[in-house]
Amino acid sequence: MPLVLAVTAVTGITQAQAQDVPPSAAAADTALAQDGAPADEPTQDIVVTGSRLQAAGFTAPTPTTMLGIEAIATRAPVSVSEVINRLPAVRNSVSPSANQRQFGGGTSPVDLRGLGPVRTLTLVDGNRFTPTLEDGTVDTSLIPVGLIERIDVVTGGASAAYGSDAVAGVVNFVLAKKLSGVRMSAQAGITERGDGATQSLNLAAGTAFAGGRGHVIAGVDVTRSEGVGIILNREFGQLMPGQITYGTARAAGTPALGLVTGVNYSTQSVGGLITAGPLRGQAFAPDGSTYPFQYGTVYSNLMVGGSNPGSEVFHWPIQTPLNRVAALGRVEYELTDGVTASLVGSYGRTQADTYTGYNQSSFIISRDNAYLPAATRAAMIANNLQTITVGRLLTENGGVPQRNTFETWRVVGGLSGRLGSKWSWDTSAQYGESQNEFRFLSQVIPANYRAAVNAVRDASGNIVCGPIATNPNLTPAQRLQVQPGCVPINIFGQGAPSAAALSYIAPETYHAWTNRRLVLAANLRGSPFATWAGDVQVAVGGEARRDELIATSDPLSLAAIAAAANYGAYRGRVNVTEFYGEVGVPLARDMAFAQSLELNGAVRRTDYSTSGAVTTWKVGLTYEPISAIRLRGTWSRDIRAPNLSELFAYTGSGVSVNSTVNPFNNQTGALATSSNGNPNLKPEVAKTKSAGIVFQPDWTWARGLKLSADYFDIDVRGLITQVAGTQVIARCYAGETVYCPQIQFDSSTFGIANVQQLSFNLNRLRTRGLDFELAYRLPLPESAGRLDLRMLATRILELRTYDRGTVIERAGSLANGGLPEWVATADLTYAIDGFSSTLSGRYTQAAINDVTRIGPDDPNYNAALPNSVNINKFPSAVYVDLNLQQRITAGGTEFTVFGLVENLFDKAPPTFAATGILTGNPYDLIGRRYKLGARVQF
């Protein structure tokens, strides 16, 4: 798509390239982002996130986008992810509205470049934040929105400056350090359809003390979101879109797979459905009576058409309900004229209540089952049937209801100061801890369920569970998994199971983990000498870090006998020491061939207690042939060290992969696997290259214009990848002996007791693309107000995974970690006096859904192929938002009232978007929604 078309998809993000200008200009850009008017004088130096250097005259070569406080306020966010996820360089892979089918939803880490959240480093005031999830990523919901002054996004490798995880880039949340008085914001929101209600309150206060030598600031955010229900609550969901498999015996011209509407279950119903024999098609009503099931066209366990009331295939929330509290306090004091001490404490807690799809089971029911309705028993006798097969959808427990809680606290103490006029230093110590839990309030234990279904009468006529040894629904392995205290269950009719039976077959399970982080750091920056072209800038520093992860689970999960989410228990620790140095050297200034020419270089040596030492580096150059044009480029070596989960995680054996062939004896059986960490993992290594141009003309009509275009190339080698159990067997059999120790052979018929699924440094991941940024203040007469345009766009040229000779290109796709080729955002803001209006939107280019499939749009399409599908391309989308703000003075106090309409035109998503895209869904599934609120400062 041409850039000009991307610009016309008017969407909203305010940004400034603070990194590419001296601190004085950067401060002016910051002021522009915050209040929409240029600042007359900078108030303070800005430490630019992409570099450790700080001094006037230095321009770093790494592209950095800055979102000011006004850009954040325009979105009226209840969580900062609502701002970050709109950036074209960020994939909305995980958030309360993007993970409707995943266990443990409710968090919002950042995923730059679509390389995975583990390859994006999240900082708060330049320091690593306490990890939230087991993979070491940070839930940005725990950062108080009301205290964020700006957000710096470095879209390129930055490991030399900040260490591991900065492969895709860095997101740094810069919080307020000084505030006089009180500022408060309150808002509420709701969707067009009356759901998704949210309420949010932000409160911050600050004051100076000790004659101005000290300052204290505190703030708190409180948010409640009721979430949005299942997709059947939306018009597109009521079409019941889904995917069916036509099978090998399909008619000529019919593809292997079909995305169709009217999809429902054909082998289960909410009250039970007889699925075989002469009684097939009899379904059980709530009172136990039967009625004829209305079949559509049946495809295995699904059907198209027919009727199966209450059996929602798509029992997934569109948006996860969330309660959130985030608080922070900061105090600083000037001990001397050159030394300042500071102490920061923060606390955050989020609770997400969600659920997944219903349990689907099939049972053999004997004629003497104690709960079998009399009419059905009579029909079995009449047809000389000893057993029937009943498919049951368990709706009575609400699917798998979950309560996911994330709680983090953190303390940072530091000293900072200046040495003369050209040097500054800082030291800090921080300790943080997060206590997190996935609690599954009703998790089905298949062995218990199958034992409880076999209900019989004992000698006294009481209904009890039948003998385990002769239960036809239990496999030999499941007979060993049945828990004591069996409570028989009645599955005939929705609502028939008793509360006691539900508690037995679907008890509460949990998985909890604790992250602990201790960091000691020191930095020194300044200018040791000057050349004829200007001051040489240096920065040096070191850090010692200890990360610890402790995970626990309930006994049922540890035994791996739950239907899903069988997490393990383990603990691990890594100690890290690192030292870095960075230098900025001006090579030319005000010459005939160069307005300026500067060289930037950085190196970091990091030693991990688990994987040894590694070196990262960066070399960059900026060149201004004339004042209106700046050329920039970088080349860097970046790393991502394996996280503690990848090193030490363990889940117990018992997860079965059915119908697996053991090539060593040609026997077929159920494969038990366990997922284990691999302490021998090494860091992933990335080579990153970028090159760009910045255009800032000084022509009279274009003095408010800034344009930039940057090329990026990130090539990650030694990608940490988990090898599935079936692949472990196949690779060992093929002679790759490194995999053989993971297989536990035994004397059973199948011959394999368990396979360990380990992660290895195997694959390669590469992405290339272009970033475009535009900022322009249109020339208007002063009395006519101001009109500002901001635009960001990203073009993905390549997003490839290399796996053992197989190359998968996911640029221009959506499913399985793909990215659309073009994404653009911009906003158009008009302001006059105390009124402002921002028209925003987001453009996503049409894309293939799944690159592993072939649809009619592909020139190689052939319906006879096993991966053919009738629809494999989703349309482009433009979503438009409108923000209005008005300042009002009442009683000597100035208020700002604001309103935001998101998805202004109520644009519906493609019919199959919610069911066809698991994560990273670029489409709006909620529809038009409104926010209304007010801000005040006094």
Q: What does the pLDDT average to over 878-883?
A: 97
Predicted confidence (pLDDT) per residue in 53-71, tens digit: 865 455 778 888 888 888 8
> Is the pLDDT reported for residue 349 higher than 90?
yes
Residue 311 neighbours by CB distance under 10 Å: 21
Q: Which domains does the chain have, with CATH numbers?
A: 3-227+320-354+403-440+511-642+678-723+758-937 (2.40.170.20)
> Is the pLDDT reported for residue 881 higher than 80?
yes
452 and 490 Cβ atoms separated by less than 8 Å: no
Q: What does the pLDDT average to over 188-214?
A: 95
Confidence category of residue 827, pLDDT binned at 50, 70, 90: very high
| Residue type at 714 in one-letter notation | I
The residue assigned the tokens 């998503």 is: 909
> Is the pLDDT reported for residue 3 higher than 70?
no
Predicted confidence (pLDDT) per residue in 283-298, tens digit: 999 999 999 999 999 9
Q: How far apart are CA 885 and CA 891, in angstroms?
A: 19
**Do β-strands 120-124 and 169-175 pair in parallel, antiparallel, or remain unpaired?**
parallel
Q: What does the pLDDT average to over 484-494?
A: 97
Q: How far apart are CA 330 and CA 219, in angstroms?
A: 9
Q: How far apart are CA 100 and CA 356, in angstroms?
A: 8
Residue 440 neighbours by CB distance under 10 Å: 29
Residue 843 is predicted with a pLDDT of 96
Q: Where are the alpha helices (DSSP H) in 109-218?
A: 159-162
Per-range mean pLDDT, top range of 200-204, 664-668, 720-724: 200-204
> Is the pLDDT reported for residue 24 higher than 50?
no
Phi, psi for residue 726 in degrees, rounded to 5: -65, -35
- Which residues does 635 contact at the CB level (< 8 Å), separation at least 6? 618, 619, 620, 687, 688, 689
- Which residues does 886 contact at the CB level (< 8 Å), separation at least 6? 834, 835, 896, 897, 898
> Is the pLDDT reported for residue 624 higher than 60?
yes
DSSP string, 655-673: EEEEEEEETTTTEEEEEEE
**Do β-strands 667-675 and 752-757 pair in parallel, antiparallel, or remain unpaired?**
parallel
> Is the pLDDT reported for residue 35 higher than 90?
no
Residue 94 is predicted with a pLDDT of 53
Residue 40 is predicted with a pLDDT of 35
Q: How far apart are CA 668 and CA 652, in angstroms?
A: 22
Greater pLDDT, 793 or 25: 793
Confidence category of residue 357, pLDDT binned at 50, 70, 90: confident
Q: Quote the distance between the C-alpha of residue 917 and its chain's center.
A: 14
Residue 104 is predicted with a pLDDT of 60
> Is the pLDDT reported for residue 14 higher than 60?
no
The pLDDT > 70 percentage for the chain reads 92
Q: What does the pLDDT average to over 80-90?
A: 91
Residue 39 is predicted with a pLDDT of 34
Residue 702 is predicted with a pLDDT of 79
Least confident of 80-84, 410-414, 649-653, 729-733: 649-653
Residue 549 is predicted with a pLDDT of 97
| Residue type at 808 in one-letter notation | I
Greater pLDDT, 758 or 572: 572
CB crowding 313-337: b at 16 or more within 10 Å, else e: bbbbbbbbbbbbbbbbbbbbebeee
> Is the pLDDT reported for residue 99 higher than 50?
no
Q: How far apart are CA 650 and CA 318, in angstroms?
A: 31
The residue count of the chain comes to 938
**Do β-strands 786-803 and 705-722 pair in parallel, antiparallel, or remain unpaired?**
unpaired
898 and 287 Cβ atoms separated by less than 8 Å: no
148 and 43 Cβ atoms separated by less than 8 Å: no
Residue 737 neighbours by CB distance under 10 Å: 9
The pLDDT > 90 percentage for the chain reads 70
Residue 21 is predicted with a pLDDT of 34
Q: How far apart are CA 454 and CA 371, in angstroms?
A: 9
Residue 516 neighbours by CB distance under 10 Å: 17
Query: Any idea what DSSP says for residue 871?
Result: -
Q: 683 in the Ramachandran plot: left (φ > 0), alpha (ψ -120 to 50) or beta? A: beta
Give the neighbor-by-neighbor strand order of the sheet with 273-274: 290-292, 282-284, 273-274, 387-394, 359-366
Residue 938 is predicted with a pLDDT of 87
Surface-to-core class of residue 433, CB atoms within 10 Å of its CB (0-12 exposed, 13-18 middle, 19+ buried): middle
Q: Quote the distance between the C-alpha of residue 398 and its chain's center.
A: 25
Query: Any idea what DSSP says for residue 650?
Result: B
pLDDT, the chain, mean:
89
Q: How far apart are CA 910 and CA 875, in angstroms?
A: 7
122 and 377 Cβ atoms separated by less than 8 Å: no
Q: What does the pLDDT average to over 220-225?
A: 95
Smallest CA-to-CA distance from 549 within 594, 577, 517 is with 517
Q: How far apart are CA 179 and CA 316, in angstroms?
A: 43
Q: What does the pLDDT average to over 434-457?
A: 96
Q: How far apart are CA 647 and CA 571, in angstroms?
A: 10
| Residue type at 552 in one-letter notation | T
Q: How far apart are CA 300 and CA 360, in angstroms?
A: 14
**Considering all CA atoms of the chain, what is the largest pairwise distance in Å, rounded to the nearest integer?**
105
> Is the pLDDT reported for residue 243 higher than 80?
yes
Least confident of 45-59, 357-371, 922-936: 45-59
> Is the pLDDT reported for residue 274 higher than 90?
yes
Which residues lie across from 842 on neighbouring strands?
825, 879
pTM of this prediction? 0.89
Confidence category of residue 587, pLDDT binned at 50, 70, 90: very high
